[in-house]
Structure 1
């Protein structure tokens, strides 16, 4: 594998499992020193250990990205930053009249405020190094929703909009900002959704969700990590301010 990130430092949030872990491993495999951010230190440590076992460089950080002081302190510890990937996210289900306010706050604060806070503290560090790249995580549900996900779809639509403005504001700083919009990815969060929305075996439910995609299967975390690595690399030097689908053709099928 090429080392497109040799000598570069990458921060990946939500990197203790799922897509975040896959992104952290991919960037490390291409030469990046990776700061593994997760509110679960056990998960962050496991990802960092796996990277080191493969010959890469990584350090775990226990960070709740909803909390400004924690994000600021972690970014300061990392020091110079070339790449920021905002993967951390949560989903909760329910119709708005029955949706608890603290659940709304959990989803919006994690998915949207967390993206704002990491950018707030990472951008000055990138600017000091002459530029960098940010990849945020939105979702196909920013464009085509399902039932019971008002908070999640609202947060992901906002991430798409935030990405555009960050890209415009910081083009002058040689900082590119894009976002990826996955479909159904085989992760612990998807399994949680299957358990919440259906009484059957979660694995069976997830297979059915995968079959809804024209490619006929669930998207794998590594599929998403490949797109992230491209967008964060110099191969995407002229790409900024846009959402990028990794949805197995789902939105094409829906006509969105």
Structure 2
């Protein structure tokens, strides 16, 4: 089950965290994995971990906010059966503490970056008979999270974009879904806490962990296993849906 032989997969933000876990898992299922990241060294490290185990992977430095750069790279890759829109950044602050530059930065990476990937990949999928698209939304797409105005806005847009693509390209055999993680323990989370809560790292980590009813953060590997199912042929009847992976956060936090 969940075999990805002869599937060409493009993963943005594949150099670390959830993207890296997805890249490694998909490669273990015989996919040809294309790892896109602004940090080329991180992308190369993920690719090396895959090839050292006998898998097939390529690493690319790409700025997803640059449409021409994205279009050129996807043209060179040629065939994309699965797209994982995973690259994203965060910002702490309510509306009054979100400057225009902050909002633009979040929008450009999280929203425009995903749009650029979709714009480049969908014509290839149409020409190739279809494909699967999975975009990383967030629990912030559907519930209010304190001091996450710009981030929540961007992830709400990811959810809406994914549903629009699912509707518009159903007849082209293109499936589009989202995953909405709650707190997932990645290097991004550690860096985020260190930057925004210096000197309170242990306290904040514990607080964020316990905000999930299940009592802990999730792991990138847990998200990757859900991603594998949704992108596999076994999920061929699934499109236009969002899948929280949240330790009970949305439904059980009362």
Task: Tell me the TM-score normalized by structure 1.
Answer: 0.95
Structure 1 segment 16-27 matched on structure 2, within 5 A: 16-27=15-26
Q: Contact conserved, 1:3 with 1:29, CA < 8 A, in 2? A: no
Structure 1 segment 41-56 matched on structure 2, within 5 A: 41-56=40-55
- Corresponding residue for residue 183 of structure 2: 184
Report whether the alignment pairs 1:230 with 2:223: no
Contiguous gaps of at least 5 residues in structure 1: none
* Aligned-residue offset at 1:202: 2.2
CA distance, structure 2, for counterparts of residue 172 and residue 78 of structure 1: 24
CA distance, structure 2, for counterparts of residue 33 and residue 203 of structure 1: 39
SS of the residue 1:160 aligns to: helix
Deviations 1:144-200 (A, max 9, x none): 222221110000011111111100001011000000000000012212332244344
- Corresponding residue for residue 158 of structure 2: 159
Q: Contact conserved, 1:13 with 1:85, CA < 8 A, in 2? A: yes
Structure 1 segment 81-92 matched on structure 2, within 5 A: 81-92=80-91
Q: Contact conserved, 1:213 with 1:249, CA < 8 A, in 2? A: yes
Q: Contact conserved, 1:206 with 1:218, CA < 8 A, in 2? A: no
- Corresponding residue for residue 104 of structure 1: 103
Q: Contact conserved, 2:193 with 2:204, CA < 8 A, in 1? A: yes
| Count of residues in Structure 1 that have an aligned counterpart in Structure 2 | 254
Contiguous gaps of at least 5 residues in structure 2: none
Task: Tell me the TM-score normalized by structure 2.
Answer: 0.96
* Aligned-residue offset at 1:253: 1.8
CA distance, structure 2, for counterparts of residue 200 and residue 254 of structure 1: 28
CA distance, structure 2, for counterparts of residue 202 and residue 17 of structure 1: 20
Q: Which has the higher mean CA deviation after the structures are superposed, 201-210 or 179-188?
A: 201-210
CA distance, structure 2, for counterparts of residue 77 and residue 185 of structure 1: 33
Cα-Cα RMSD: 1.4
Q: Contact conserved, 1:85 with 1:135, CA < 8 A, in 2? A: yes
Q: Contact conserved, 2:2 with 2:232, CA < 8 A, in 1? A: no
Which of structure 1's runs of 4+ aligned residues deviate more than 3 A?
none
- Corresponding residue for residue 173 of structure 1: 172
- Change in Cα spacing, 1:13 to 1:203, as seen in structure 2 (3 Å) is farther
- Change in Cα spacing, 1:25 to 1:203, as seen in structure 2 (3 Å) is farther
- Corresponding residue for residue 140 of structure 2: 141
CA distance, structure 1, for counterparts of residue 210 and residue 133 of structure 2: 31
